[in-house]
A and B are shown apart, each in its own frame.
Chain A
Amino acid sequence: MLGRTASSLFWMSRYQERAQNTAKLLQAAYRTAMVTHAGQADGENWRFALASSGSEFGFTEKVGELTPRGVISYMVFDKTNPSSVRVCLETARNNARAVRTGITAELWEAINTTWIEFADVNPQSITQEKLPDFLAWISQRSHLFRGALLNTILRDDGYYFSQLGNFVERAENTARILDTQYWVLLPDNDVAGGASGERYQWIVILRALSGLRSYRFAYQDAKLKAGNIATFLILRDEMPRSLAHCYNWIDDTVEDLGEFYGSVQPSLEMGSQIWKDLKSTNMDAIYNNGLHEFLTDFIGRNNAFAHQLSIDYNFA
């Protein structure tokens, strides 16, 4: 397999995942912004969406005033925002196009049709009332992409690189969302019994990670607590967007990839080590060493892993 092919499969999955994550963030912001509550400045949820996707600086530079319309336009349709849904879908599709010969017809049709239909949408037509359906559509199309991938693609090196791209991106997204307002997840907040401000923030975080319902299943008493939410999103392997889940998947994949090629590259060892470290720690230890420090360190290691991968396998 060409190094560039490996790279394209990695980035195709990464950008498709990012498109979905951006849509999810906006869905969460939209939903919470509808509920008025005391103690929160206007637009705080929209700012949270911007910050978590790393778009805040670009937004301030280009748009300035914080309005729902402005945020939606910048995060969904803007051609200059590298995290906008538009740019993600287009980049994912360009990567798929570069490896047309390496992916299945089903997968190509899923990704290509999404792009064609998205490009046909007039941004003006997505009013605030239409936004939820539109965001849900983007999410659904991402699920279709991933379904087509999992159901049709050969389990060889191409598959492994696509999985690594998918879960590196997802891990980064989860870690960023947690880090953007890490202080609401500190255990001290439990003492207050969940002041309403924190409560709303917890809900946004869980919604943005599709975890609100599953949290209630995972914790018998179903009560929102900072410590439990943090544990759920960092260490609970059964939560599909937790850091542990992402790295458990990456660990399996690097093992398969090493076996497939008959040699273990440095990046593969890095991936396994991150999983081992997540498995052997607990929430108390993370709090003791600092949640913010933990998350910053994790984001750095996640990036270093992806970078080493691109060196080991000649991503062009």
Chain B
Amino acid sequence: MAEERSYFNEMLDNAGNPRAAYARLSAWLDAKPPNYLSRKTREAETIFRRLGITFAVYGADEATERLIPFDPIPRIISASEWRRLSAGIDQRVRALNAFLHDIYHRQEILRAGRIPESLIIQNDAFLPEMVGFTPAQKVYAHIIGTDLVRVSENEFYVLEDNTRTPSGVSYMMENRETMMRMFPDLFEMHRIAPVEHYPENLRQTLESVAPDLSKSEQTVCVLTPGIYNSAYFEHAFLADSMGVELVEGRDLFVDEGKVFMRTTREPQQVDVIYRRIDDAFLDPLTFNPDSMLGVPGLFDAYRAGNVTICNAPGTGIADDKAIYAYVPDIIEFYTGQKPILNNVPTWNCSREDDLAYVLDHLEEIVVKEVHGSGGYGMLIGPTASKRQIAEFRKILMSNPSNYIAQPTLALSACPTHVASGVAPRHVDLRPFVLIGDQVRITPGGLTRVALKKGSLVVNSSQGGGTKDTWVLED
């Protein structure tokens, strides 16, 4: 294990005094008896398991449904910090949607030479089927989860944009619900921006991009791959809290270019599909012919303008790790403004000199697969063994264009309940953004925390936990 580097402590300043936003929480923690949090954590876990708030782990034979560890100490963001963050997120998601419209139409950004053409045209995430088609209200990515990390008092970096089917919003809501049940006194002591309107906002967003806005009622549904999917709980949660049907591919069919649900009575036409399945599985007639999850003919119905699919097929090009390095250019190109939120400096291993630098510095940096997710297939240099680095070097050299690399960031840390009491642990943040007739950002988001001391991997599939995230109101 590498020795601990210096990092930003969100609760305590360098002198060890609590920062303003954390003052009350810090005093509250100090006043509690030693085993208080352990008891509360067990309480929370019992609630989660009983309610079935679980996620599935692939490849594990037994106990395929697990709880994401829940940390009972909230993460706090001040009102002014949040204003800056949300302005940056707003700017970023608008630019990404403009970018998507452009590359599926005139491709001005390529003509202007701001992004190499090959990076788009030869990219698997670019869907030629979408060229020339304009989705309702010109919105492509309706639901985005922007992954952020904090490295100092005023510096946040965007790690990933997640413009496909970001998950985790149900944990944001259930965490808040659980916290309110367990610590009503903490909520009395703070003015915390609510998150409970998220499902209502989501439904409004989805209805606002229906193909025919003159209809008095829009039929919305959530499309899930089914109960064995790792995020199934969330799919059910969202359908339930929006009051819409949760459907699988086999519940839908296409007739004369329109999409219908199979009900116990007459088929019911569907206007908007919030899909939680990947592009490739949407429609076996257009994409992967082996897909059992999709709906034959769905894509044609979509292109005929009879149904809206959220997010649009082909949005993956906007959160492709190879495109990521260009997002600052994308923001400038479409908004004419400087980016408010920074990108992490990124080396693109398909470039020769970048690759040379990466190979020379494997011990210091993080290397990721371009299309990977969930913390799999990556190397974290500073915590890897010599052997792991040597093995990864071979893999990287055999297919450099499959990888990007970034400096190891000193992720900020928040007070976290651990075996020995309360200790700082590294965190990231995923706020959830909705884009339809307007941009709606839920204050806060999902904070993921690396529970192991010194660890920088916050993914739930790799032993990370979650925290409730509070945005204070002025």
Contacts and interface: CB of A to CB of B under 8 A. Distances in A.
Interface of A: 1-6, 94, 97-98, 100-101, 105, 108-109, 112-113, 116, 157, 261, 313-314, 316
Given A4-B248, A98-B227, A101-B246, A314 B263 contact: yes
Contact of B52 (A1, A2, A5, A108): A108
The 5 closest A-B pairs by CB, nearest first: A101-B240, A100-B236, A313-B264, A3-B262, A314-B262
7 contacts: A3-B262, A4-B251, A5-B245, A97-B236, A100-B52, A101-B240, A316-B251
A108 B52 CA distance: 9
B232 interface: yes
Given A313-B264, A314-B263, A2 B49 contact: no
A100 B246 CA distance: 9
B50 A2 contact: no
B232 A316 contact: no
Contacts of B251: 2-4, 316
B227 A157 contact: no
Contacts of A2: 245, 247, 251, 261-264
A10 to B, nearest CB: 11
Interface residues of B, number: 22
A3 B236 contact: no
Contact of A3 (B50, B227, B263): B263
A1 to B, nearest CB: 5
Contact of B264 (A105, A112, A261): A261
**Chain A interface mostly:** helix
Contacts of B264: 1-3, 5-6, 157, 261, 313-314
B50 A4 contact: no
Interface in B189-248: 226-227, 232-233, 236, 239-240, 245-248
Interface in B251-280: 251, 261-265
B174 to A, nearest CB: 13
B351 to A, nearest CB: 47
A263 to B, nearest CB: 8
Given A314-B262, A314-B264, 20 more contacts: A1-B263, A2-B262, A3-B251, A3-B264, A4-B247, A5-B245, A5-B264, A6-B264, A97-B227, A98-B226, A100-B240, A101-B236, A101-B240, A101-B246, A105-B51, A109-B51, A116-B49, A261-B265, A316-B248, A316-B250
Nearest to B248: A4
A157 B226 CA distance: 23
B262 A316 contact: yes
- Among B247, B248, B250, B263: residue with most chain A CB under 10 A: B263
Contact of A97 (B232, B263, B265): B232
Contacts of B233: 100
Nearest to B50: A109
Contacts of B239: 101
A157 B245 CA distance: 15
A3 B261 CA distance: 9
